[in-house]
Structure 1
């Protein structure tokens, strides 16, 4: 698994040689060759016959998509996300928590030229961006404090008291809004999605270019995203408290 995460493509490198992997991980090159060959045979790694270098194989994408496609929250949210995008002409996103991070698992793009571009699978700490903060704000207190402590230790949160105050405000209002916290010049408005047990399991958010998010639009988007989140939650069996 460490080897697979090592050869994730980036802006500078798409393929890795066995020697580069060996040097990066400080593992004997014979071991690297054996592991890469085994992974290649099973389609998790692809070997370029011309360069003799390796990159991640498509079987990994198939595994990832199979997990995403079978998520109940995604299947319940997708039709509602599509209808919301048609109404507001902005992109709509679905994020789920995993550990101390939020993972973007689905996006329904609008038809506007200046869309908010976010890659599926992108991971961001639960302290950054509306779609993550709204999840953390609605977690059970013990879990929430545990995650905050971990993010403080990682240097992701500078002022924990100020951040906890922000989370309290988010929970009271039922939505979160962020400006350029992940992508400069964009706005995100998010609301929590709950399971039948009342636990927060995801967030749904509207994202787009800041110039399109004026006061009246923001008010409308807040209403729309809270309504959509409630609809998805009801699909999951959640009953709104009286």
Structure 2
């Protein structure tokens, strides 16, 4: 039973591993996981039965199923961080007239769990739940800047190929930690800017990051100062309510 569960989970993790891929053929799944085709077919049948994966009618490829969304949404409702942060994020978005995001770390990745859209007609909209490598984007960098050095080293060794890249990245993290916020320009989406500050829990551990997303043509030194001060203030308020 344990072996079957492990193999079924490996299929799920494989389907999650490439956001750009529009589904997997059963032969690809079997080949990647080095499983017999018959075993793969049996496991997929069980996962489909429980709506954990689904098959496209058009392409016959397999995708993550709707049950995970249901599970995720139920879990999100239980998260104190999201509950505490949302009203503060709403206030921040109204104040700065930009979209505001809440992200949490997950091993070598992060993902946004809450979003308040800008009240303006032209605005930045990023997808909730999208996994983003920890070396990309302002929210991730500001979280890394406040993590334990051993954890940072582990993450950067996984994500950056050379010692020189890691050395330069660590220098950038020092500057972020000193400034109290991080800013990224067009790192994930062309024409956009993100400004982020870290959220900490009662034990001074990183709980997440709050960020403001805006169009790059709206950027100026004055605007950066305004937004960085605002996002730090809100991150500190959330941290205080978490006991950080």
How high is the TM-score relative to the length of structure 2?
A: 0.85
Q: How many residues align?
A: 235
Q: Which residue of 1 aligns with 2:238?
A: 232
Task: Using the TM superposition, give the Cα deviation of residue 68 of structure 1 relative to its aligned residue in structure 2, in angstroms.
Answer: 2.5
Task: Using the TM superposition, give the Cα deviation of residue 176 of structure 1 relative to its aligned residue in structure 2, in angstroms.
Answer: 0.7
Kindly indicate whether residue 72 of structure 2 is the aligned counterpart of residue 70 of structure 1: no
Q: Which residue of 1 aligns with 2:229?
A: 223
Kindly indicate whether residue 30 of structure 2 is the aligned counterpart of residue 22 of structure 1: yes
SS in 1 for 2:41: helix
Task: Using the TM superposition, give the Cα deviation of residue 107 of structure 1 relative to its aligned residue in structure 2, in angstroms.
Answer: 1.2
SS in 2 for 1:97: strand
SS in 2 for 1:139: coil
SS in 2 for 1:159: helix
Q: Which residue of 2 aligns with 1:211?
A: 217
Distance in 1 (alpha carbons) for counterparts of 2:194 and 2:226: 13
Q: Which residue of 2 aligns with 1:13?
A: 22
Task: Using the TM superposition, give the Cα deviation of residue 131 of structure 1 relative to its aligned residue in structure 2, in angstroms.
Answer: 0.6
Distance in 1 (alpha carbons) for counterparts of 2:115 and 2:87: 12
Task: Using the TM superposition, give the Cα deviation of residue 224 of structure 1 relative to its aligned residue in structure 2, in angstroms.
Answer: 0.5
The structure-2 alpha-carbon separation of the partners of 1:12 and 1:236, relative to structure 1 and needing over 3 Å to count, comes to closer
State whether residues 94 and 119 of structure 2, in contact with CA within 8 Å, keep that contact through their aligned partners in structure 1: no
List alignment gaps of at least 5 residues for structure 1: none
Q: Which residue of 1 aligns with 2:120?
A: 112
State whether residues 157 and 163 of structure 1, in contact with CA within 8 Å, keep that contact through their aligned partners in structure 2: no
Q: Which residue of 2 aligns with 1:146?
A: 154
Task: Using the TM superposition, give the Cα deviation of residue 90 of structure 1 relative to its aligned residue in structure 2, in angstroms.
Answer: 0.4
The structure-2 alpha-carbon separation of the partners of 1:176 and 1:49, relative to structure 1 and needing over 3 Å to count, comes to closer
Alignment of 1:193-204 (within 5 A): 193-204=199-210
The structure-2 alpha-carbon separation of the partners of 1:59 and 1:112, relative to structure 1 and needing over 3 Å to count, comes to same
Alignment of 1:88-127 (within 5 A): 88-127=96-135
The structure-2 alpha-carbon separation of the partners of 1:230 and 1:156, relative to structure 1 and needing over 3 Å to count, comes to farther
State whether residues 195 and 233 of structure 1, in contact with CA within 8 Å, keep that contact through their aligned partners in structure 2: yes
List alignment gaps of at least 5 residues for structure 2: 1-8
Task: Using the TM superposition, give the Cα deviation of residue 39 of structure 1 relative to its aligned residue in structure 2, in angstroms.
Answer: 1.2
State the Cα deviation string for residues 9-51 of structure 1 (Å, max 9, x = none): 866634x554454355442222122111111222212356787
Give the alignment partner of residue 177 of structure 2, picking from 165, 171, 182: 171
Distance in 1 (alpha carbons) for counterparts of 2:122 and 2:51: 37
SS in 1 for 2:115: strand
Task: Using the TM superposition, give the Cα deviation of residue 123 of structure 1 relative to its aligned residue in structure 2, in angstroms.
Answer: 1.9
Distance in 2 (alpha carbons) for counterparts of 1:126 and 1:20: 28
Distance in 2 (alpha carbons) for counterparts of 1:47 and 1:112: 38
- RMSD (Å), alpha carbons: 2.4
